[in-house]
A = this chain, B = another copy of it.
Amino acid sequence: MTLTVVGSIGIDTVETPFGKAEDVPGGSALYFSLAASHFTKVQVAANLGTDFPEQAWDPVRKRGADLSGLRVFEDQNTFRWSGSYAGNMNEAETLLTELNVLAEPPVVPEAYQGSAFAFLANMGTDVQLRMLEELKADLVFADTMNLWIETQRENLDELLTKIDGFILNDAEARMLTGETNLIRAGGALLEMGPKVVVLKKGEHGAFLFTNDFHFALPSYPTARVVDPTGAGDSFAGGFLGSLAEMGDLTPENLRRAMAYGTVAASMTVEEFSTKGLSNCDRGALDNRFEELCNFVRI
């Protein structure tokens, strides 16, 4: 089934204890579609400038994605982000943000409308609400960040009543619900509207909450975390991509999708930028899926 993603494209500069990567491809829409395109047909809508390296899309294009929603601004630069990670690398310190082409909202091509699945990556909640209307997708999942929780709370409350699934991290869940305990936070988020809540905890794995069951998974046991940038969007891509491949949201499929999200994120964190997900194939993802199943089997 077709999966549409609306999000950002970025040129990142990242420093971690393992080195520095300057002016490398990034952004939620790129990480998401690199992961999701391993599983299903992806349609991407996002803004970029002519300074963005075109070849970064090659793996996504090769896996059959529709990139007609990439809107290239001739006279502006791509969004730029610079950050550094220290210690256990659970959180980045942002050193620089240049909005550039992100000042304009993305445009959803008519041909993208009505897709079975859609993902609204982290963007201003007002833009997410508008994209939601334009997409007319059957099942919509969304992400957010602390900035919008603080500045667009009313919009976010409205969005949560209109989407099917919500994907966020532990700090955001605590901020949004006021609950320190993540199990309580998960329950509170379900009450805000979405039928499915995915709560990501970085190196500590992820929770899934529905009104019927809860599920938890540790992160894939990689001994090599080089750069966590994009891990969350890769998770969302593996999760929704494999869900779109399986077709519906049964408990069984949701559990398997959580494992594929985990595996996709593991590929990303092992290399700088998008190298991990660009270079791997479906077989490598499936192998890690099996390893992960064995890792948690009681």
Q: Which residues of A contact B (CB under 8 A)?
A: 17, 87-89, 180-184, 187, 201, 203-205, 207, 213-218, 221-225, 255-256, 258-259, 292-298
Contact = CB atoms under 8 A, between A and B. Distances in A.
Given A218-B216, A218-B218, A187 B295 contact: no
A8 B227 CA distance: 42
Q: Which among A89, A201, A204, A295 has the greatest number of chain B C-beta atoms within 10 A?
A: A204
| Copies of chain A in the complex | 2
Given A187-B223, A201-B204, A204-B204, A180 B87 contact: yes
B223 A216 contact: no
Determine the main DSSP class of A at the interface with B. Answer: mixed
Contacts of A205: 204-205, 216, 218
A298 B255 contact: yes
B256 A298 contact: yes
Contacts of A88: 180-181
Contacts of A182: 203
B296 A223 contact: no
A20 to B, nearest CB: 18
